[in-house]
Amino acid sequence: MSTEANTTPPAEQNNVNYPWLLFTLADNHFAINTRYVNGIMICPKDLTCLPDSPPYVRGLFMLRDNIVRLLDLRMLFGLETLRDECEGFCDVLEQHKQDAVNWVKELERCVAADEPFSLAIDPNKCAFGKWYANYKSDNVLITQHLRKMQEPHRRLHEMAPKIARCTLLNEQPEPHNIDEHMNELLTVWEPRIVSLMEEVKDIYRESSREMAIIIENGDRRLGLIVDQVLSVEEISRTDLDDSGVNFFQSLIYIAGVSQSRSVEGNILVVDDAKLLELTSGDGSLEDMSGLDLENITEI
């Protein structure tokens, strides 16, 4: 996905009513004016490191014979990086997967020792059940795949009163059914839960593909890493009220708020001119002297 370069002379750009490009960062909505937007692309992976650069500078790449600095807007705005967010989500699912495995092991142990089973029987009261009930995501694939876990998760928990003596239900299982139920638990429901957990992690990683918005004005050029590009449309902009955006470390690159018919809530307007000042050689980004410019990866 790309856009054509803006050919309007700089002196006339302030008199043109350009539409706005809407994008997301960490479940927040942003807008940047298209006056400087020169392209949209999948975030490049193979980058040339810029020595001693701030942590929000990913690196350099070559685009149509021009060197582009790539900035991580999440880091610049003081938000959790998409990589950390993805790892955090996968860590949570890995813990829930291990919880399910340990739950089954404890049930086996209780059966072998003829002891009451004391772990959660209600699927809504275990750690995963509570997490699932409160988890919200705009990612349709993740939501749909998590929904697939409901049935096997419920069936797994139903095995406890069938297999082991349960102090909550005061039921004694019939001995001739224990082996049958345990076999179902070990060969059907536990493997299904483990498999679905792994699939969701893979889907989350695959869907966490960052986009890069290329902006340029004269010889200043930046790539802005965002989560997702939504649309190009007209919006109504108002002055910034920082009472609702205090999750940022700094509001220096936010110029105002806006509203859109396609998005609920406020949209934060990015100050594109202020971002482009990062290429002005004022020390915010280090000079490129000494770099092997011929070996910078071309996209």
**Could you report the per-residue pLDDT of 79-130, keeping only the tens digit for each?**
999 989 999 999 999 999 999 999 999 999 988 888 888 899 999 999 999 9
Task: Give the residue with greater pLDDT, 244 vs 27.
Answer: 27
Of 41-50, 52-61, 66-75, 249-258, the range with the lowest mean pLDDT is 249-258
Bridge partners of 66, per DSSP, are 63
Task: Give the residue with greater pLDDT, 238 vs 141.
Answer: 141
Is the model's pLDDT at 182 over the cut of 60? yes
Q: How confident is the model at residue 14 (pLDDT cuts 50, 70, 90)?
A: low
Q: How confident is the model at residue 299 (pLDDT cuts 50, 70, 90)?
A: low
pLDDT of 31 reads 95
Is the model's pLDDT at 16 over the cut of 80? no
The reply to whether 135 falls in a domain is yes
Q: Please compute the mean of the pLDDT values over residues 146-164 and round it to a whole number.
A: 90
The reply to whether 107 falls in a domain is yes
pLDDT of 87 reads 94
pLDDT of 45 reads 85
Say which amino acid occupies 141. Answer: L
Q: How confident is the model at residue 238 (pLDDT cuts 50, 70, 90)?
A: low
The reply to whether 104 falls in a domain is yes
- Average pLDDT along the chain: 82
pLDDT of 223 reads 95
Phi, psi torsion values for 219, nearest 5 degrees: -95, 10
The reply to whether 271 falls in a domain is no
Return the closest-CA partner of residue 261 out of 287, 283, 282, 231.
Answer: 231
pLDDT in tens, 184-223: 999 999 999 999 999 999 999 988 889 999 999 988 899 9
Q: How confident is the model at residue 152 (pLDDT cuts 50, 70, 90)?
A: very high
Q: How confident is the model at residue 294 (pLDDT cuts 50, 70, 90)?
A: low
Helix (H, G, I), strand (E, B) or coil at 21: strand
State the residue range of the domain holding 144.
84-207
The reply to whether 170 falls in a domain is yes
Q: Do 287 and 270 form a contact (C-beta atoms < 8 A)?
A: no
Paired sense of beta strands 228-233 and 236-238, if any: unpaired
Distance CA 120, CA 125 (A): 6
pLDDT in tens, 255-289: 888 888 888 888 999 999 999 988 754 434 445 44
The beta strand positions in the chain, using DSSP E, are 20-25, 28-33, 37-42, 57-63, 66-72, 211-217, 220-226, 228-233, 236-238, 254-260, 263-270
Alpha carbon 214 to chain centroid, angstroms: 21
pLDDT of 33 reads 94
190 CB neighbour count, 10 Å cutoff = 20
What is the tally of structural domains in the chain? 1
Q: Report the CATH number that the domain containing residue 145 is assigned in CATH.
A: 1.20.120
When mean pLDDT is compared over 64-68, 107-111, 250-254, the highest value belongs to 107-111
The reply to whether 133 falls in a domain is yes
The reply to whether 65 falls in a domain is no
Bridge partners of 62, per DSSP, are 67, 298
Q: Do 145 and 203 form a contact (C-beta atoms < 8 A)?
A: yes
Q: How many residues does the chain have?
A: 299
The reply to whether 293 falls in a domain is no
In our burial notation (b when 16+ CB lie closer than 10 A, e otherwise), range 17-32 reads: eeebbbbbbeebbbbb
